[in-house]
Amino acid sequence: MSIPVLKFDAVIVGAGGAGLRSAIQLSEAGLKTAVLSKVFPTRSHTVAAQGGVAASLGNSEEDHWTWHMYDTVKGSDWLGDQDAIEFMCKKANEVVVELEHYGMPFDRTDNGKIYQRPFGGHMSNFGEKPVRRSCAAADRTGHAMLHAMYQRNVKANTQFFVEWMALDLIRDEEGHVLGVTAMEMETGQVVIFHARATIFATGGAGRIFYSSTNAFINTGDGLGMAARAGIPLEDMEFWQFHPTGVAGAGVLITEGVRGEGGILRNSSKERFMERYAPNAKDLASRDVVSRAMATEIKEGRGCGVNKDYVLLDITHLDPATIMKRLPGIHEIGLQFAGVDCLKEPLPVVPTCHYQMGGIPTHYSGRVVMPQGGDMNAVVPGFYAGGECACASVHGANRLGTNSLLDLLVFGKSAGDSAVEDLKAGKAHRDLPKDAADKSLARIAAIDNRKGGANVHETRLAMQRTMQDHAGVFRFGDMLKQGVEKILEVEKAARQLEIKDKSQAWNTARTEALEMENLIEVAKATMISAEARKESRGAHVRDDAPDTAEFPNGRNDKEWLKHTLFSPVDNSITYKPVNMQPLTVEPVALKTRSY
Amino acid sequence: MERADYERLRWRCIRRALLELDITLTRFLDDGFDKLTEDEKKVFVELADMEDHELWYWLSGKTECDDPRFAPVVAAIRKS
């Protein structure tokens, strides 16, 4: 079968913040640039980001990028690479000011400067006291950012391919990346995008968990494609969770509900936080509350048919106070839990929010992997930025407002590196004769299979397995079982069947293709989490508790290293954390406490 | 509605920027969409093309939908 080939200097997969930011660099450098997206760009999940973007502008009070760097290293529980963290924090002011020049409507101070507000974990003078570092546009920072960058791209003649799904990375025998195969949803036509530079900006894969704040679009397509092309995935055991999402839906319930007097209860209606945190009770820190909830569920005191959630009770509060102080919570209860929270408690569960790991990259945005003794050998022609990439700046846990900063800095950096490499004169390399064969075979298998697995049921089995066995608080025995279970789910995910055989707008097929990406991420997460026998940042194990020898369960002697999961044989190798910043003294190891 | 048109609409409802809309619109497509009149279905297609925040404000009741053309369909979605 003859497959159409579209030739570009650069192809970018994903039109969220990172994709749009890198596209600006390429298009404005005069390079022919294509951006592929499953949805219209301003409907990417970046839109959901509300908190702001961190930059030590010092508009409201004294601030410095070295203080921001210290906070980020500490937040990462020292797993972040300090060269990449220095790079990001130093670049923050530049990318925020650029965004302002693109037309981003930041909130302003009375004297016209960008207004800055405090945000958890951001401190002045190396952890001394909170600092105002977050730049926001009301509660629509991500939305405003995408609009500003989309307009800039339109002006720069970036070519958008909207409602296209990228299928597979094209690599030649020498390992160079030459573009992607992709499918136009409107026609079902598969096309080769032949490019000199390929940039992944596909976002996270939070949909691997049963309870996730992520929109349905976050199916880890870039990670799945990288894995199928033999590229390892880094630090996939690290996922940030929020303690209270609506069970079964994932929609976030603000922590302000507990602040106003909300009480967590188990199946016996017991206020269980009294046992875990006798003083702070329901107002204990996010980590403590999440762990207590997970323990109650694991020990059989969860609620509902599956005993898989606990209750958040505000029925004792004055209804007028709830409606005034917690606007929206009543509606969320009605719409997503079918519960009137003034009369009944809300079902809640720790809920996945952000993926710290991803495709391993250098801070220049170039993708790296172990080759011939070099743990960080560049994969020629391949770049990544944003949540799908692991630079690694978030390490074992991410600070709020550093995610929008990540996608601006590393989106730009990936674009700059691609421009630099392309200007060095690299021509299009010849496409392998079988460039599209794997993608076509995958689609044909899904279309033609009889007696295969149902996509919805397989996805649910994966999500349940991930939630039960690799959730916010992890247990050694559960992780071991989880590895076996997820490998079973993988077998089903390799045998998907769909009923709809149409070419045009076959959403069943698209969801099956997404499922093949999700399972790569789920497997990498479970196996990486089982292997890391310490607690660090967001990876917290029951069998690696807080002791005098290992505060918070962290064991730097054995585990101060990045995980690299190889999708080729499900094996794991490790590489050292880069503790050496670019120009300043390293942030020395110490116990992470706030 | 032609199959391809419906499937395009479905994709634009099940892959939003906001999780709240993914859930709400998917549920409505499964439970309420067929009960709409042909004219209301056209209005729904327009609603599905709106920016996520504006649409969610209407569907969550945070802001009132004061457009008489959209209001009945917004109300139907809110009830589903």
Residue A426 pLDDT greater than 80, yes or no = no
Q: Which residue of B11, B14, B53 is in closest CB contact with A505? A: B11
User: Does residue A367 surpass a pLDDT of 70?
Assistant: yes
pLDDT of residue A119: 87
Q: Is B39 a residue whose pLDDT tops 90?
A: yes
Average confidence (pLDDT) over A346-361 = 97
pLDDT number for residue A284: 87
Query: Angle at the Cα of A379 (from A375 to A382), degrees rounded to 5?
Result: 135
Q: Which residue of B has its CA nearest to A213?
A: B19
Could A143 and B62 be called an inter-chain contact, meaning their C-beta atoms sit closer than 8 Å? no
- Contact between residue A217 and residue B25 where contact means Cβ atoms under 8 Å apart: no
**Are A321 and A315 within 8 A, CB to CB?**
no
Whether B51 contacts chain A with CB within 8 A:
yes
Decide if B19 and A331 are in contact by the 8 Å CB cutoff. no
Q: Where are the beta strands (DSSP E) in A203-265?
A: 233-234, 239-246, 263-265
Under a CB-based contact definition with an 8 Å cutoff, are residues A3 and A26 in contact? Answer: no
Establish if B23 touches chain A: CB-CB under 8 angstroms.
Answer: yes
Chosen from B19, B28, B59 to mutate, greatest number of chain A CBs within 10 A: B19
Q: Which of A38, A47, A163 sits opposite B18 (nearest CB)?
A: A47
* B3 contacts on A by Cβ (under 8 Å): 502, 505
> Where does the pLDDT of residue A1 fall: very low under 50, low under 70, confident under 90, or very high at 90 and above?
low
Cβ <8 Å between A250 and B19: yes
A503 touching chain B per CB within 8 A: no
Interface of A with B in 310-369 (CB under 8 A): 327-328, 331, 335-336
Q: Which residue of B has its CA nearest to A514?
A: B15
CB proximity A134 to B under 8 Å: no
Interface residue B27 vs chain A (CB under 8 A): no
> What span, in angstroms and rounded, lies between the C-alpha atoms of A129 and A46?
29
Q: Give the integer Cα–Cα distance in Å for A192 and B53.
A: 35
Residue A53: name the closest of A384, A538, A407, A358 by CA: A407
The model's confidence at residue A254, banded by pLDDT at 50, 70 and 90, is confident
- In the prediction, which pLDDT does A473 show? 94
pLDDT band at B80 (very low <50, low <70, confident <90, very high): confident
Interface test with B, best of A50, A507, A509, A515 (most B CBs within 10 A): A507
Are A414 and A407 contacting, i.e. CB atoms less than 8 angstroms apart?
A: no
Give me the residue label for tokens 């996509």: A455
Residue A66 clears pLDDT 80, i.e. is over it: yes
Does the CB of B75 have a partner CB in chain A at under 8 Å?
A: no
Q: What distance in Å separates residue B6's CA from the closest CA in chain A?
A: 9
Chain pair A-B, CB pairs under 8 angstroms: 83
A-chain CB neighbours of B10 within 8 Å are: 505, 507
* Contact between chains at B17 and A47 (C-beta distance less than 8 A): yes
State the nearest Cα–Cα gap between A165 and chain B, in angstroms. Answer: 12
Q: Residue B49 in contact with residue A72, Cβ under 8 Å?
A: no
Q: Do A534 and A550 touch, CB atoms closer than 8 A?
A: yes
The confidence score (pLDDT) of residue A285 equals 82
Residue of chain A whose alpha carbon sits nearest to that of B50: A43
Average pLDDT over residues A35-42: 97
**Measured between CB atoms, does A227 come within 8 Å of chain B?**
no
Give the pLDDT of residue A259: 86
Check whether A190 has a pLDDT greater than 90: yes
- Report ipTM (2 d.p.): 0.97
Does the pLDDT at position A492 exceed 70? yes
pLDDT at residue A326, as a whole number: 85
CA gap A275, B66 in Å, rounded: 50
Per-residue confidence (pLDDT) for residue A529, from 0 to 100: 98
Task: Give the pLDDT band (50/70/90) at residue A337.
Answer: very high
Mean pLDDT of A302-318: 96
Does residue A247 register a pLDDT over 70? yes
Q: What is the mean pLDDT of residues A227-243?
A: 97
Mean pLDDT of A240-258: 92
Residues in chain A: 594
Mean pLDDT (whole number) for A515-530: 98
Distance between CA B46 and CA B40 in Å, rounded?
Answer: 10
Q: Where are the beta strands (DSSP E) in A176-224?
A: 177-184, 190-200
Q: How far is CA A255 from CA A129, A264, A290, in A?
A: 22, 12, 12
Distance from CA of A145 to the nearest CA of B (A): 14
The Cα A319–Cα A300 span in angstroms is 32
B-chain residues near A143 (CB < 8 A): 17, 51-53
Q: What is the pLDDT of residues A194-203, one digit of tens each?
A: 999 999 999 9
Residue A286 pLDDT level (bands cut at 50, 70, 90): confident
pLDDT reported for residue A482? 98
- Nearest by Cα to B70 from B2, B7, B48, B10: B48
A393 in helix, strand or coil? coil
Cα–Cα distance list, A578 to A28, A85, A556, A586, B1 (Å): 33, 10, 14, 10, 57
State whether residue A313 is helix, strand or coil: strand
Q: Is the pLDDT of residue A427 over 90?
A: no
Q: Is B4 on the interface with A (CB under 8 A)?
A: yes
Q: What is the pTM of this model?
A: 0.96
For residue A264, give the 3-state DSSP assignment. Answer: strand
Give the DSSP letter string of A194-206.
EEEEEEE-----G
Asked if the model's pLDDT at residue B5 lies above 90, the reply is yes
- Respond yes or no on whether the N-terminal peptide bond of residue A290 is cis (omega within 30° of 0): no
Q: Which residues of A are catalytic?
A: 286
Strand A129-135: give its sheet, edge to edge. Answer: A53-54, A129-135, A116-124
Q: Give me the mean pLDDT over the A75-83 stretch.
A: 97
Contact A47 B22 (CB under 8 A): no
C-beta of residue A313 within 8 angstroms of C-beta of residue A264: yes
Q: Is A360 helix (H, G, I), strand (E, B) or coil?
A: strand
Put the strands of the sheet holding A571-576 in their side by side order: A233-234, A561-566, A571-576
| Burial per residue of A113-152, b for 16 or more beta-carbon CB atoms within 10 angstroms, e otherwise | ebbbeebebbbbeeeeeebbbbbbbeebbbbbbbbbbbeb
- Report yes or no: B19 at the A interface, CB cutoff 8 Å: yes
| CB–CB contact B53 A140 (8 Å) | yes
Residues A505, A462 contacting (CB under 8 angstroms) = no
Residue A84's SS3 state is helix
Of chain A, the percentage scoring pLDDT greater than 70 comes to: 100
Percent of chain A with pLDDT over 90: 93
**How many angstroms separate the CA of residue B75 from the nearest CA in chain A?**
13
Angle between helices B52-60 and B19-31 (to 10 degrees): 60
Give contacts of A456 with chain B, Cβ < 8 Å: none
